[in-house]
Chains A and B, each alone.
Chain A
Amino acid sequence: MAFKIIVCAKQVPDTNVIKINPKTGTLIRDGVPSILNHDDANALEEALKIKDQYPDTHITVVTMGPPQAKDLLLECLAMGADEGVLVSDRAVGGSDTWATSNTLEAAIRKIGEYDLVFAGRQAIDGDTAQVGPQIAEKLHLPQVTYVEKFSIDKNLKDITVQRQLEDGYETIKLKTPCMLTAIKELNTPRYMTISGIFTAQKKPIHVWNAKDIGVDLTTVGLEASPTNVFRSFTPAPKGKGIVLEGDTEAEVSKKLLVNLKAKHVI
């Protein structure tokens, strides 16, 4: 039976070009291009690598967002995914991570069968890293976050991952079905292909609303969200850095050591 993967992806503003309103501390989204969230691209790439090896593999990309998030699905399909699901409904607008994971859980349940759910660690616009783990909990799936290496046995059941820690890594074995969240060290995402671009629109994209996925409306959207961003701000600049100069590398290194010791860093 074909191996089935669900990839959770988010359309985010390109943070390379985004500006922040200094008064309100909020993002200025006008005219900012939307992109596939970086870590999600890593999740999709790993799924596509499985498909490269086992061409029967079926990849469904699921996203939640406004109607224009369909573009993100087209991009994923042009990279090689098989099917897209967009959950789009005003009722789910303004959701925090808890409400978002309720929506995505319901969408994944509607998609039905799967062996692996792969998401990015976090989105570059919110940086919470909460949605992936919450989905896993709600679907009662074993989960490993911060995956930097992945391999799967020929039986397509036994997975071995390396999980990045601040000071090292863990190697974890787990069985499908399970949920993983990817970090950028996992792989380098591929580009779309030209033929992929011209066939993407022929692949199925389903647009579902809250009713379609049967989610409890009291658990989604702004009202139902237990957390609120009450203020965001840009941290004050830390001031100028120090440039160490010297004629040789050894000399500069020495100065650096002296400085670090003086500040009790080492």
Chain B
Amino acid sequence: MNFQLTKEQEFVRKMVREFAVNEVEPLAADIDKEHRFPKETVEKMAKYGLMGVPFPAEVGGSGGDHISYAITVEELSRVCASTGVICSAHTSLCCWPIFNYGTEEQKKKYLPDLLSGKKLGAFGLTEPNAGTDAAGQQTTAKDMGDHYLLNGAKVFITNGGYADVFVVMAMTDKSKGTRGISSFILEKGDEGFSIGKTEDKMGICASSTTELIFQNVKVPKDRLLGNVGEGFKVAMSTLDGGRIGIASQALGIAQGAFDVTVDYMKARKQFGKKLSQMQALQFEMANMKTQIEAARLLIYRAADSKDKHLPYGPQAAMAKLFAAETAMYVTTKAVQLHGGYGYTKDYPVERMMRDAKITEIYEGTSEVQKLVISADIFK
């Protein structure tokens, strides 16, 4: 057992911290207010290898590991949760399933551009009537001999409006339930494939969340990802990894709110004393820090298991459940410790509290995480 980061992982934190503070933080409040996708930041992230962290150099990745990837999303989210989820959805939900389930041709075709950040990825599973009940897919893919014909719609798709490559689930055989789902690679510009409504959200306002609409989209056979009927497995294993990303986002949000609160408490005086000198408030901070550290350990352990090709699904679910609850707890307390100022947009904790909430919902709600964890207990 070793709780020390490697030299490389330490450097990743140092590098992404510097990048985030210089390039991401200055935009965070504005892009949140304007609901603007930070295209320019994504280009910079691409240049420094942040869009392909946990993939080997041979397929065009940055050659890092999943702990480094978790640190990357954490450090980006520490200053801007929207930027963090752009990286997380792209890496975990689009690049990873292609890397893991793709044919050699698919990997050669898609990974170099995705991992270098020239192209952006997204993932389409959720439908209006298939959220937590992911098996209730209504999007269909009909085998037409030389191609599949896709019809249906997806909702709440992160990166939707800006992605070039999409991993999409559709029913190829309704009679088989979850074993009738298959996954496909779609490309922006495929005939009949369009982007629908952009959601107006409570938080992570600078990330793009859209509908995907498929109207008689002809998908060539070589864009089937994995085997026919394997889509549910592709989706569930992808989400296992995605949870490490979102848990890291939640951790980053919590750490960010904590850090600005420490600074605030050292400066703010009431009753002739700094807030940082008041024991009741110090104890609040001690609780917050303890939860943050516990979340971090859960996440890094899940990421380490993934790197070592050990089972990590329940670990990732526990990490995501706990980190998301920590993000909500810490940001809510951070606003409280800022008093009235914390409720205004002049201080970042207001945005952080709004951003934190989504981490309890997407990539599986907290309730879904409990399903995954309890299924493992009583298997």
Residues of A within 8 A of B (CB): 71, 74-75, 78, 191-201
By the criterion CB–CB under 8 Å, are B48 and A193 in contact?
yes
By the criterion CB–CB under 8 Å, are A197 and B8 in contact?
yes
| A-B contact list, 22 entries, CB within 8 Å | A71-B7, A78-B15, A191-B18, A191-B48, A192-B14, A192-B48, A194-B12, A194-B15, A194-B50, A194-B52, A194-B62, A194-B64, A194-B68, A195-B57, A195-B62, A195-B63, A196-B49, A198-B57, A198-B64, A199-B57, A200-B11, A201-B7
By the criterion CB–CB under 8 Å, are A192 and B11 in contact?
yes
Closest 10 CB pairs of A and B: A194-B49, A194-B62, A198-B63, A192-B15, A195-B62, A197-B11, A193-B49, A193-B48, A195-B49, A197-B8
Give the CA-CA distance A260 to B18 in the complex, in Å: 40
Give the CA-CA distance A197 to B17 in the complex, in Å: 14
A74, A75, A193, A201: the one contacting B62 at CB < 8 Å is: A193
By the criterion CB–CB under 8 Å, are A199 and B11 in contact?
no
Smallest distance from the beta carbon of A197 to chain B beta carbons, Å? 5
Residues of B within 8 A of A (CB): 7-8, 11-12, 14-15, 18-19, 47-50, 52-53, 57, 61-64, 68, 72
- Which residues does chain A contribute within 8 Å of B18, judged by CB atoms? 191
- Which residues does chain B contribute within 8 Å of A199, judged by CB atoms? 57, 63
Give the CA-CA distance A193 to B11 in the complex, in Å: 10
In this complex, the member of B11, B50, B63 whose beta carbon has the largest number of chain A beta carbons within 10 angstroms is: B11
Number of A-B contacts (CB under 8 A): 55
B11, B47, B50, B52: the one contacting A78 at CB < 8 Å is: B11
Q: Please give me the residue from chain B that is nearest to A79 by CB atom.
A: B15
By the criterion CB–CB under 8 Å, are B62 and A198 in contact?
yes
Smallest distance from the beta carbon of A38 to chain B beta carbons, Å? 13
Give the CA-CA distance A201 to B15 in the complex, in Å: 16
Give the CA-CA distance A195 to B59 in the complex, in Å: 13
- Which residues does chain A contribute within 8 Å of B49, judged by CB atoms? 193-196
Give the CA-CA distance A191 to B61 in the complex, in Å: 18
Smallest distance from the beta carbon of B118 to chain A beta carbons, Å? 15
Smallest distance from the beta carbon of B46 to chain A beta carbons, Å? 11
Q: Would A75 and B11 be within 8 Å (CB), given that A193-B62, A194-B68 are in contact?
A: yes
By the criterion CB–CB under 8 Å, are A197 and B64 in contact?
yes
Give the CA-CA distance A198 to B68 in the complex, in Å: 10
Give the CA-CA distance A197 to B13 in the complex, in Å: 11
Q: Please give me the residue from chain B that is nearest to A35 by CB atom.
A: B14
Q: Please give me the residue from chain A that is nearest to B65 by CB atom.
A: A198
- Which residues does chain B contribute within 8 Å of A195, judged by CB atoms? 49, 57, 61-64
By the criterion CB–CB under 8 Å, are A197 and B57 in contact?
no
Known pairs A192-B14, A194-B12, A194-B49. 7 more at Cβ < 8 A? Answer: A192-B11, A194-B15, A194-B72, A197-B8, A197-B11, A198-B8, A201-B7
- Which residues does chain A contribute within 8 Å of B8, judged by CB atoms? 197-198, 200-201
Give the CA-CA distance A192 to B64 in the complex, in Å: 13
- Which residues does chain B contribute within 8 Å of A200, judged by CB atoms? 8, 11
Q: Please give me the residue from chain A that is nearest to B23 by CB atom.
A: A191
- Which residues does chain B contribute within 8 Å of A192, judged by CB atoms? 11, 14-15, 48
- Which residues does chain A contribute within 8 Å of B47, judged by CB atoms? 193
By the criterion CB–CB under 8 Å, are B63 and A194 in contact?
yes
Smallest distance from the beta carbon of B74 to chain A beta carbons, Å? 14
Give the CA-CA distance A149 to B62 in the complex, in Å: 32
B11, B19, B52, B57: the one contacting A74 at CB < 8 Å is: B11
In this complex, the member of B19, B52, B62 whose beta carbon has the largest number of chain A beta carbons within 10 angstroms is: B62
Smallest distance from the beta carbon of A230 to chain B beta carbons, Å? 36
Q: Please give me the residue from chain B that is nearest to A195 by CB atom.
A: B62
Give the CA-CA distance A193 to B47 in the complex, in Å: 8
In this complex, the member of B19, B48, B50 whose beta carbon has the largest number of chain A beta carbons within 10 angstroms is: B48
Give the CA-CA distance A78 to B64 in the complex, in Å: 13
Smallest distance from the beta carbon of A42 to chain B beta carbons, Å? 15
Smallest distance from the beta carbon of A132 to chain B beta carbons, Å? 25
- Which residues does chain A contribute within 8 Å of B63, judged by CB atoms? 194-195, 198-199
Give the CA-CA distance A205 to B49 in the complex, in Å: 24
A71, A197, A201: the one contacting B12 at CB < 8 Å is: A197
Give the CA-CA distance A209 to B372 in the complex, in Å: 57
Give the CA-CA distance A198 to B50 in the complex, in Å: 13
Give the CA-CA distance A75 to B62 in the complex, in Å: 16
